[in-house]
Every structure is written in C-alpha cells, then in structure tokens.
Amino acid sequence: MSLSPAELKVIGVAAQWYARLRSGVATDTDRAAWNDWLMSDPSHHQAWQRMVDVGEQMASVPGSLAAPALRGADQSRRQVLRSVLVLASAGSLGWLGWRSEASRALFADFHTAVGERREYRLADGSSLLLNTDTSVNLRFDGRQRTLELLRGEILVTTAVDPSQRPFKVLTRHGEVLALGTRFIVRCAEQSGGVAVIEKAVEVRSAGSGSALRLEAGQSLAFDEHSVGAVRRNDASVGAWHQGSIIAINRPLGELLADLSRYRTGVLRCDPRIAQLKVSGAFPIDDTDLALAALESGFSLHIARYSRFWVTVSPPANAIFQ
C-alpha cells in the first residue's frame, strides 16, 4: 500500500525523533518536545509506532543471518538491513543520516533493540551476549579477533585460539584486551566501563599509551583521556544477564536511568527524590512490574502520561525540607 505525501512527511519527522532519542545525547528538553509532538495528533502516534515496529523487525534479522555473518558475509547482511528499512518506510527514510552515529549502530553486525538481550556463538567458539540497545561490529581474520562495541553493553566469554590471535573489544573511549577471560564491557556516550568475572584483561584509554591489568572480581570506568580507579565487583555486576537490576542503597535517579535503558520512551525521576536510596532486585524484562514494586515499596507516585512517558514522583502529601 502506497503512502500519501502527508503520511510520508509525518513518518520523516518520526524518524528524526527516533534517531534523536536513540542517539544517547537527547536532553530533557528534547524529550518534552517529542512528547508534545507525539500527543498533538493521532497520526503522530501511528508514525512513531511504525518507527518502533521497524526497530523490532530489524532486531529479529541478525538471528537468521548470524551464520553467514560469522563466515564473513557481513556486507550482504548490511544490504538486507538497509532494504528492510527502506521497504518498511516506503522510501521515506533514505535521508535519515547514514553517516550519523545512530545509523552506524543500527546497521552493525550484531544489534539488539531496547529491552532485548541476545546471545551469539562466534566462529572461534567464543560467546557474546548483548544487553539492551547494543550494537557491535565483528572483525575476525587471520591476525585478529576484534569486537567494536559502538554502544551498549556486552558479556564476552573467550575461547582458546589455536592461532593465538589476540581478542580485543574496541570502544570510542579505549580498548580491552582479553587474557583468556569472561568479562563485561559497557560503552555509553561519555565513558565506558569494564568488569572482569574470570581471569584478567588489560584496559587502555584511547588517549593513554599505558595499559592497566584488571583481575577477576575487579572493575573500573574509563574515558578517552584516562582510566579510573579499580573497584571490587558487587552483586549488581552482570545481574542483567539473569534478567534483573540489583540495587544496593542506590540513588533512585540512577536506578531509574538504568531501568530506562530497557524500555522505549522517557522514564523521568522527579529531582526532589533523585537521591532517595533504594535497594532491591528489579526485573528488566517487565519494567512496569519494576515500577510497581518501587511504587508500593517506597510509597512513590507513578504518573503514566502515555506508553512512552512515565514520571516517578513523591506522593502528593510528601513534605520536603
């Protein structure tokens, strides 16, 4: 079915909002403007749902194409993904910004949608688990085993390589060299992080020539300029692998920011309660259930303005000093 010029125009605007909100640099002002646009016309809701549906459709493609991708046919997979996008939008998204960071992540070799986790077996026998909204490119050849983490979070379990090729994870902030290990790497907009579960890794900041060795049970944050202090892993490290976020006396604002990674749209925390300390295990496969637990367990008020806009605030009778 062909789309009218008016429908194509609305879909184009929805595509701009989709790219902006998934870029990692969207502000509260952006989200408020997006919500105003979303609520202003039923056609905007339909166009936005089209964007969400396209994202979900493309998230399902890697499973069927995983085998050829592992055999090096990554270029054909990118062509298929591009075709899916163009067909789903009736040609209206060709201008969406192929050179943008969001587009690069969207057409990576491996990709998960918001709220999705997916595991892959790599050609060398290693395993790769992608957390929510994660994009990874694969570079395996006769000299190297390299994963380029464009954004998101991965759990890697490396296999012994008869050719002794190094196994690295590259991010915009630096690189992690595996030393026969099981480890987690996260890449956010401003910084990255690594946590070692088994054996050891070496971490190098993009702007530093020296590497720091991390042993099992240790973690740290790093950015383009430096590597942070070494910390001990706690119970929350890797809990997403088991389907939950574990909070231990954690500020509510931080917990909600983490929880928002697993749901589409905006999950906002009232600044008055952002520092409220909470503890518990919260499911990431059912974020509404997690919010209900916060609402009942900590006497909070959850305002749901739409499927895509939720605000957590104190009860109406709360008194602040």
Distance of CA 67 to the CA centre of its chain: 23
CB 169 within 8 A of CB 155: no
Q: What is the pLDDT of residues 178-202, one digit of tens each?
A: 998 999 999 998 999 999 999 999 9
Distance CA 44, CA 59 (A): 23
How many CB atoms are closer than 10 A to CB 75? 8
CB 88 within 8 A of CB 8: no
The hierarchical CATH code for the domain 111-233 is 2.60.120.1440
CA dihedral 135, 137, 138, 139 (to 10 degrees): -150
DSSP annotation of 227 reads B
* Mean model confidence pLDDT for the chain: 81
Give the Cα-Cα-Cα angle 246, 186, 156 (nearest 5 degrees): 90
Give the closest residue to 171 by CA, choosing from 275, 254, 101: 101
Lookup: tokens for 184? 């987690």
The structural domains of the chain, with segments of one domain joined by +, span: 1-107, 111-233, 241-313
**pLDDT value of position 65:** 36
- Segment 94-102 mean pLDDT: 45
**Residue 36 or residue 58, greater confidence:** 36
> 241-313, what's its fold?
Phage tail protein beta-alpha-beta fold (3.55.50)
CB 111 within 8 A of CB 30: no
- Segment 281-304 mean pLDDT: 92
**pLDDT value of position 55:** 55
Distance CA 132, CA 120 (A): 14
Tokens 């918001």 correspond to what residue?
114
- Segment 77-99 mean pLDDT: 40
CB 173 within 8 A of CB 205: yes
Lookup: tokens for 138? 């694969």
How many CB atoms are closer than 10 A to CB 199? 15
CB 220 within 8 A of CB 237: no
Largest Cα–Cα distance in the chain? 66
**pLDDT value of position 21:** 73
Residue 63 pLDDT > 50, yes or no?
Answer: no
Lookup: tokens for 112? 């998960």
Give the closest residue to 128 by CA, choosing from 142, 117, 116: 117
Residue 36 pLDDT > 70, yes or no?
Answer: yes
Distance CA 290, CA 240 (A): 14
CA dihedral 113, 115, 121, 127 (to 10 degrees): 130
Distance CA 80, CA 160 (A): 32
Q: Quote the percentage of the chain above a pLDDT of 70.
A: 77
CB 202 within 8 A of CB 179: yes
Residue 54 pLDDT > 70, yes or no?
Answer: no
Least-confidence region, from 29-43, 141-155, 229-243: 29-43
